[in-house]
Amino acid sequence: MAHAALSRGWAAKDPAAAAAWVESLADEEDQISASLGLVPEWASQDPDACLDWCRGLSQGALRELSLVGLADAWVERDPQAAFRGFTELADEDGRERGLHAICSEWALADPDSALRHLGTLDPVDRRDEFLESALVSLSNEDPERSWRQADMVPERAGHIRAMALEAIAESNPQRALSMAGSVKQVPAEWWRAIGRGWAYEDARGATAWARSIEDPELRTLVLEEVEAAAE
């Protein structure tokens, strides 16, 4: 972590010089380590300049991880600008990972703003994909809201609700069962998700419930999820 500490301190005073030093390092692992200090510090000062630097890097691990690091730092400062900046990039792994990180972190920090902004996107601009990332992430903090707003993405609402049920089942499995049971036709994915979430905190209780399922095929599927989560 010495490279990260050095680049962070240097970037606080002269990020361009620190960036040049990062690129000059002979070993890629050292470059990546140094970028972990450079990118967050530079992003806190001038994310657009940091983005320009990332775009000038050669394709490879340093570029990809620097873009992801920029997304993580930029979304804390200005999520709308971060999202806009990354959507303007050409298609590459760093862009994709960055966009999904921005959607996920934005939803946790300010779900009202995130869902409102992403919901206004044109469907051709991957609106549903980004909303799904936001809602699945939100299920970690506010699963009941994620459950309620899953219909913002009709074709993926079932999966989003499964993630919400898994999160709820970790602390309140009976609530998760009640929510799932309120739907006429419950997808098998939901029961499996409840089993996973329940087993994280109470493997014995989850196993007893799974064994009580009457349908033999569904019982087997849920027990497999419970056993895997309990390992």
Report CA dihedral (43, 73, 71, 138) to the nearest 10 degrees.
Answer: -160
Give 58's DSSP letter: P
pLDDT of residue 51: 97
pLDDT over 70 for what percent of the chain? 100
Give the list of residues 6+ apart from residue 86 with CB closer than 8 angstroms, or none: 67, 71, 95, 98, 99, 102
Residue linked to tokens 């606080």: 12
pLDDT, tens digit, 9 for 90 and up, residues 17-38: 999 999 999 999 999 999 999 9
Question: Tokens in use for 118?
Answer: 């992403």
Q: What's the pTM?
A: 0.91
Give the list of residues 6+ apart from residue 71 with CB closer than 8 angstroms, or none: 82, 86, 97, 98, 99, 101, 102
pLDDT of residue 231: 85
Could you state, in order of their start, the residue ranges of all structural domains in the chain? 1-110, 139-231
pLDDT band at 175 (very low <50, low <70, confident <90, very high): very high
Q: How much is the average pLDDT of 196-214?
A: 97
pLDDT, tens digit, 9 for 90 and up, residues 96-120: 999 999 999 999 999 999 999 999 9
What DSSP string runs through 158-224? HHHHHHHHHHHHHH-HHHHHHHHHTSSS--HHHHHHHHHHHHHH-HHHHHHHHHT-SSHHHHHHHHH
State the Cα–Cα distance between residues 210 and 188, nearest whole angstrom: 12
Q: What are the contacts of 201-209 at 24+ separation with CB within 8 A?
A: 201/170, 201/171, 202/173, 203/229, 203/230, 205/173, 206/173, 206/230, 209/173, 209/177
**Mean pLDDT across the chain, nearest whole number?**
96
Nearest to 174 by CA among 148, 194, 150, 200: 194
pLDDT above 90 (res 139): yes
State the Cα–Cα distance between residues 160 and 183, nearest whole angstrom: 15
Residue linked to tokens 């960055």: 98
Positive or negative, the Cα torsion across 204, 163, 144, 96?
positive
pLDDT band at 2 (very low <50, low <70, confident <90, very high): confident
Q: How much is the average pLDDT of 51-76?
A: 96
State the Cα–Cα distance between residues 44 and 197, nearest whole angstrom: 37
Q: How much is the average pLDDT of 68-81?
A: 97
What DSSP string runs through 79-100? HHHHHHHHHTSPS-HHHHHHHH
